[in-house]
Structure 1
Amino acid sequence: MPDPYILTDTHTHIYYHVDTSTLDEQVQRCFDKNIHRLFLPNVNTASIEKVLGAVKSYPDNCFPMLGLHPCDVKDNYKKELANIETAIANHKIYAIGEIGLDLYWDKTTLSIQQDAFRIQVAWAKQLGLPIDIHCREAFDELFELLEELKDDKLFGVLHCFTGTLAQAHKAISLGFALGIGGVVTYKKAGLDIVVKELDLQHIVLETDAPYLAPVPFRGKPNESSYLYHIAEKVADLHQISIEEVANITTANSQRIFGI
């Protein structure tokens, strides 16, 4: 009997557990919940081998993206970018990510974050790949950048979307799907109200494991198998079956990532 549906986690750091039994245990729990597709975002040079190691262990289920996370854009960012560019040239990847802007931790690096973003967007356009965007407390700055870089080659996912309905529509108009994760299950976050108003053609599901665990695991380490609870919440908001949510969001991920 084939599985009734396939769920896709479009953003998980499950590779943090590479070369441990925890990786195998977490992947098995994913399979038990019909989660068979995991997209792994790089964050810096040091995590390249971890990402590729997880892909090697589960080549039919783990799909790599490579990029420099905005929190890792420091004085040596050009060297980091050069290392990542070399890795991209030598491996099959499905997106440039995670890249973006983060003004939560350090506002002083905005200009070099913007430079790193422009460079990596250029890679994506050259390779015909989507970008996977991290944005924290930087929506205005991000949208300004995306408007500057907008063309028919710019597309991807705005990962861990937690913005307003107006910001959602803005991102969609710029060619981006919205990555919906555990925050949609938080009572006071307000993301549930936004997601209820969105056409599911514009969203993909993600965990961002080990961060932002959904209810009922909020405050604990997240894992990709918990994607089921996110899908369940989206199904409840739209008054449809979890199977329908899985079919739509997995099809969206296939369209974006090309696999």
Structure 2
Amino acid sequence: MNDLTGRTALVTGASRGIGQAIATRLAAGGATVLVHYGRDADGAAATVGAIERAGGTALAVQAELGVDGDVETLFEGVEKGLAGRPLDIVVNNAAAQPAGPLGVTTRAEFDHLFAVNVRAPYFIVQRALPLLRDGGRIVTISSVATRMANPAQTSFAMTKGAIETMSLTLANELGARGITVNAVAPGATRTPANGAVFEAPGLADVIAGSTALGRLGDAGDVADVVAFLASDAARWITGQVIDASGGLFLGPRA
């Protein structure tokens, strides 16, 4: 297990799903975790409770992303939780879900996607930098949607492409401080929050059959990759998009 003892971490969207798994995994490695949530206070409390029952330390921080003042509200809670300590790890996980294909996506849905998936991570990093120690870690959750043509996810894929570019350019800018910046791109990942989606007849089998490793992912698969990137073992990795999809749609399978 990657040793994160003494580190502090902010994980956005950590009340459920992949974000919850990332928060609990970082805490298991020894980090004190600031568990961000937007509206799901019960989910955030469940994340904090799970961390504390396992012997870790966590604090819930509320801020609805994609609205005016979101980052300011978030960092009021972050700075209170840090209590003067530096921040070591920032994980931008919170994201709005795909709004639909080109023909049905409204301007409001499009703007909301970019506000949550692009604007918020950008300004969270900007606001975090004065708190982030030299040698810190920034990890943003992308998606394999950036390397696949899925007409139902055009606007969503655009947002994830934007944060991959953000990660690349920030890695170059922040390297002088020893800060690594990477993105992690999950594929089809079953979580308690989205499990019903994969109950459609035959869907899970089709996806598993299109995945090199032959199964759907789970939140822990992604969380372990994030924990690695947050650790000292990943000190020489920056500006990269790490595919954490089990090899989804790599090509025809024999």
Q: Name the TM-score, length of structure 2 as normaliser.
A: 0.39
Please state which structure has a larger fraction of its residues in helix.
Answer: 1
